[in-house]
């Protein structure tokens, strides 16, 4: 066990006994939603994982320790602190550990800590990707590089719709990362169930996804897997309307000079404002949906 890693007693027991565990990120708590909806949603996501047969392990850095499994008080603390908590990706982990600081983990950092703990399945909202205009800015999320190197299956509703989804899929293909559509051959676009972009792989059940993950890692191929799970149809937003809101948010971000890791939380907040809160409800629904599927995959993977 890594000397900087603190699995919670519940998570440690589950891992030692070979029971299914699902990793959950913490930037969705601190940077993804306003308080108290962020804390309420985090608790519901953990409950959803439990209800479907797995142990939840919300991941963060607290006092320089890599935490795999948070208490309700720790989750509440992250939710109340909000944007004051550092947004932690791969490059930030050494500083946070060395300075005994706190950090809410992105997809990339959550994958790293999950892998250190021995957790193979992770549920999130949407992965990061290639930003629009990346040919000028070179703004590509560290999530994609982490997917290329770290052996964790990431269940998501596609990449965040504010990104260039076509280039994100191209990047993943180049890095050899399988993108498996759950009962779909169309890449979901976070707030909407489809993007118009075709996928090569489809799986009809959690067992099929677990078998593919095991085969990839048994072959020594390394790297992660993207499980693209569309937002439930009743919460899927109208594609033109959300597209209009995203374009307006991008224009405002450019005018305000927002760059780097501040772009995603800024755009998500602006889209929420422009859609009168509808995007937040869609976001919550898709995270819960991903938690259910991730738990089912973790259960099947533990049986292998």
In contact, 291 and 24? CB cutoff 8 Å? yes
Domains of the chain, by residue range, sit at 5-303
Q: Which of helix, strand or coil describes residue 77?
A: helix
What DSSP string describes 150-201? S--EEEESBB-TTB-HHHHHHHHHHTT--EEEES-SB--BTTBS--S-B-SE
Is a pLDDT exceeding 90 seen at residue 129?
Answer: yes
% of the chain at pLDDT higher than 90 = 78
**pLDDT score for 218:** 98
- Which pTM was predicted? 0.93
Lowest mean per-residue pLDDT among 145-149, 168-172, 243-247: 243-247
Which of these CATH numbers, 3.40.640.10, 2.40.50.430, 3.30.1490.20, 3.40.1790.10, describes 5-303? 3.40.1790.10
Q: How far apart are CA 56 and CA 108, in angstroms?
A: 18
Active-site annotation holder among 48, 67, 146, 160: 160
Active site residue 273: no
What is the phi-psi region of residue 248: left when phi exceeds 0, alpha when psi lies from -120 to 50, beta otherwise?
A: alpha
pLDDT band at 108 (very low <50, low <70, confident <90, very high): very high
Is residue 160 annotated as part of the catalytic site, yes or no? Answer: yes
Q: Is the pLDDT of residue 110 over 90?
A: yes
Least confident of 76-85, 262-271, 281-290: 262-271
183, 215, 216: which is closest to 296 by C-alpha? 183
The per-residue pLDDT for 103 is 98
């Amino acid at each position: 066990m890594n000397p900087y890693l603190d699995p919670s007693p519940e998570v440690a027991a589950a891992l030692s006994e070979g029971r299914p565990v699902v990793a959950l990120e913490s930037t969705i708590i601190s940077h993804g939603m306003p308080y108290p909806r962020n804390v309420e949603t985090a608790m519901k996501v953990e409950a959803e994982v439990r209800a479907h047969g797995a142990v939840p392990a919300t991941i963060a850095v607290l006092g320089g320790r890599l935490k795999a499994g948070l208490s309700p008080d720790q989750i509440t603390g992250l939710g109340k602190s909000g944007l004051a908590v550092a947004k932690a990706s791969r490059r930030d982990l050494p500083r946070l550990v060395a300075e005994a600081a706190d950090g809410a983990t992105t997809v990339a950092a959550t994958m790293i800590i999950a892998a250190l703990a021995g957790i193979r399945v992770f549920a999130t909202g949407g992965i990061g990707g290639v930003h629009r205009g990346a040919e000028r800015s070179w703004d590509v999320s560290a999530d994609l590089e982490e997917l290329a190197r770290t052996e964790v299956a990431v269940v998501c509703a596609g990449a965040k719709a504010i990104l260039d989804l076509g280039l994100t899929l191209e990047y993943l293909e180049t890095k050899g990362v399988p993108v498996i559509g759950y009962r779909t051959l169309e890449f979901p676009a976070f707030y909407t169930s489809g993007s118009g972009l075709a996928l090569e792989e489809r799986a009809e059940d959690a067992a099929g996804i677990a078998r593919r993950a095991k085969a990839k890692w048994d072959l020594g191929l390394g790297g992660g897997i993207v499980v693209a799970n569309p937002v439930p149809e009743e919460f899927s937003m109208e594609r033109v309307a959300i597209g209009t809101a995203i374009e307006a948010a991008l224009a405002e971000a450019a005018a305000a000079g927002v760059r780097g890791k501040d772009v995603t939380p800024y755009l998500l907040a602006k889209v929420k404002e422009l859609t009168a809160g509808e995007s937040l409800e869609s976001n919550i629904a898709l995270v819960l949906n991903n938690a259910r599927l991730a738990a089912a995959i973790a259960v099947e993977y533990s049986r292998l």
